[in-house]
Amino acid sequence: MRIFVCFLLLNLISCGKQDPSNQIDKLVGYWEIESVAMPDGEVKEFSISTIVDFIEVSENKGVRTKVSPQLDGSFINNGVAEKFDITIENDSLQLYYSTPFDRWKETVLIATDSILKVLNRDNKIYTYSKFKKFDLIK
């Protein structure tokens, strides 16, 4: 019985982890921040955000751009794009960003069709949900 329980627990743990290579395509799209979990356990919730992250991926490279959603369903780009390289290290998807001013890494914890969670270099966990476009003007 003990062996069965150990096998079951091991199976559940291994099934719970996403394959990092399957997460890459899930990064693409418009993402709205929901919350930030601080290293001390505090969680900052965002109920409304006027800025959305737009992520594009091609091969093992990507671009993250801040955009403002408009009521007609379009977006206004703020002109700032952060390029990143995508690698798989230690069974995790890593995003290596580089701008003329800084370099940093984010670890993708979860990437699905509706949720994106990343861990940044300050040990903050950012949770995003897939943004649903406005289309109030028909």
Beta bridge partners of 44: 36
| pLDDT tens sequence across 82-104 | 999 999 999 999 999 988 889 99
pLDDT at 13: 40
Q: What is the mean pLDDT of residues 16-43?
A: 93
CATH number (domain holding residue 98) = 2.40.128.280
Q: With 0-12 CB in 10 A as exposed, 13-18 as middle and 19+ as buried, what is 50?
A: exposed
Is residue 12 predicted with pLDDT exceeding 80?
Answer: no
12 lies in a domain?
no
Is residue 79 predicted with pLDDT exceeding 90?
Answer: no
Is residue 3 predicted with pLDDT exceeding 70?
Answer: no
For residue 101, give its domain range: 20-130
11 lies in a domain?
no
Sign, CA torsion 126/129/133/134 = negative
Contact 113, 27 (CB under 8 A): no
Element (H, E) at 60: none
